[in-house]
Amino acid sequence: MITRLLLFIFTLSQLEGKKRPNILFCIADDWGAPHASSYGNDDVVQTPTFDRIAREGALFHNAYVSSPSCTPCRNSLMTGQWHWRLKGGANLYGTLTQEVETYSRLLKNSGYHTGSWRKSFGPGKLEGKFLKDHPAGKIYRKGFSDFLADRPSKETPFCFWLGASDPHRGYKKGSGKQSGMDLSRIKLFSFFPDVPEVRSDVADYYFEVQRFDSDVSKAIARLEAIGELENTIIVITGDHGMPFPRCKSNLYDSGTRVPLAIRWGQQIKKGQEFKDFVSLTDLAPTFLQAANMTPPIEMTGKSLLPALTGEGELRKFILTGKERHVPSQESPSMEGYPSRSYRDHEFLYIRNYSPSLWPNGTPNWQKATIKNTWYGDTDNGPTKSVIVDLGLHSKFYQWSFSKRPSEELFDLSNDPDQLNNLAAKMPKTVAKYRELLESALKASGDPRHGGPKFNFAGPAYSGGGPRFPGKR
């Protein structure tokens, strides 16, 4: 261990004598794993840009968001902290507390040219210092080329957030099939009914994944054109799982696991693949350390540089959680579906704090907090409609929308899609993982486990609702 530490310190000392790296951070909206061709999920979705970055850098097989919801995930990523430490920032349509800092602002203060395009913070409400100084950097509405044209000098290091709106719904129906995809070759999650409507819906999602990949390709071409490719850390990832039932806003892998590839010229070995765990909260301290800065003590993320340079290891387990996606319970409740999870290579354990609530929103759309919203934590679309139409007693409905017990336990070696809850059959294992989760959450400063108290169901919600409300 001492030898590894000395080698890592030597590596950092070598980096300190070189030009500080640029950072190009590319994040898709609602893109989950394993939907990139590098993962070998199927041969339908094609992501050549992501594949290139993985091939010329590192591919991560177990990268997870802090929360499977846009605002809390992005807040946790910017701040390098678990979302449950961010008060109102733990909810969709929340904000950022004024006490926190973001890696982009810290880099700007150290001399970086910073900027963003399309979706970065939010959806939510910016306040105070973040109104004057955007948490992801100045917004460049014309994109990366406009940002580069505004660079003070060729010597100024830069940090850019490329935030696509793909593959968020809505989709142009049939776009995947019309693009030439062979729908029969799509590998569906086993909790989806295998019917043409669902296959076509997934293909439409794939079509927008590929469009995001193309946007990133154009940005990388600009880097090459200005001779900055080798001195730029390029990261490609997503903010949570696909906008389908039992994915987005759920703590199963289909909601919390995302693609992740990182390239940094000659600074990291090409073709690396990592099977241990990464939290997207780890990216902020990674960027700061690469820029020869010390991450603030408040950052709970762990720099990936030791692992990327071959002198350290990744996490052996991962935490995820959820407070509120949309206010999707019955009126006038502003509560979401609070839950936490602990996952290692053997088991996924989930603790649901309010099992009397609906995990993906009430089916009683006439009584919903947001008017006429049914199952509000799941975006409307063909797959959602197919599953609901199958009825309450369908296994597909049960997996996606029925109420859940306070504890869930899944044996990952035999149940990769996490469908068979073994909590009642394995009480000793449940007790072990319950203790592991509680200990880790307490150490993290989680308000639900001894951290500073905060009412997550309180007034942080600042308006809005699902992007496509309504019964159908």
| Short-list 314, 246, 229, CA closest to 280 | 314
Instruction: Quote the pLDDT of residue 460.
Output: 59
Instruction: Quote the pLDDT of residue 294.
Output: 97
Residue 468: pLDDT band by 50, 70, 90 thresholds? very low
335 pLDDT exceeds 60?
yes
| Short-list 201, 238, 191, CA closest to 216 | 238
- The string of pLDDT tens digits covering residues 242-294 is 999 999 999 999 999 999 999 999 999 999 999 999 999 999 999 999 999 99
Helices marked H in 309-426: 382-390, 395-401
Q: What is the pTM of this model?
A: 0.94
Residue range(s) in the chain whose domain bears CATH number 3.30.1120.10 = 321-449
- The string of pLDDT tens digits covering residues 420-433 is 999 999 999 999 99
**3-state SS, residue 295:** coil
**3-state SS, residue 60:** strand
- The string of pLDDT tens digits covering residues 363-385 is 998 898 888 888 999 999 999 99
Instruction: Quote the pLDDT of residue 41.
Output: 80
How does DSSP classify residue 330?
A: B
Instruction: Quote the pLDDT of residue 198.
Output: 98
Q: Are 281 and 318 in contact (CB under 8 A)?
A: no
Residue range(s) in the chain whose domain bears CATH number 3.40.720.10 = 2-315
Q: How high does pLDDT run on average in the chain?
A: 93
- The string of pLDDT tens digits covering residues 143-184 is 999 999 999 999 999 999 999 999 999 999 999 999 999 999
Instruction: Quote the pLDDT of residue 6.
Output: 37
Give the residue-averaged pLDDT of 10-14.
Answer: 43
CATH code: domain 321-449 is: 3.30.1120.10
Largest separation between any pair of C-alpha atoms in the chain:
64
- Under CATH, what is the fold of the domain 2-315? Alkaline Phosphatase, subunit A (3.40.720)
18 pLDDT exceeds 80?
no
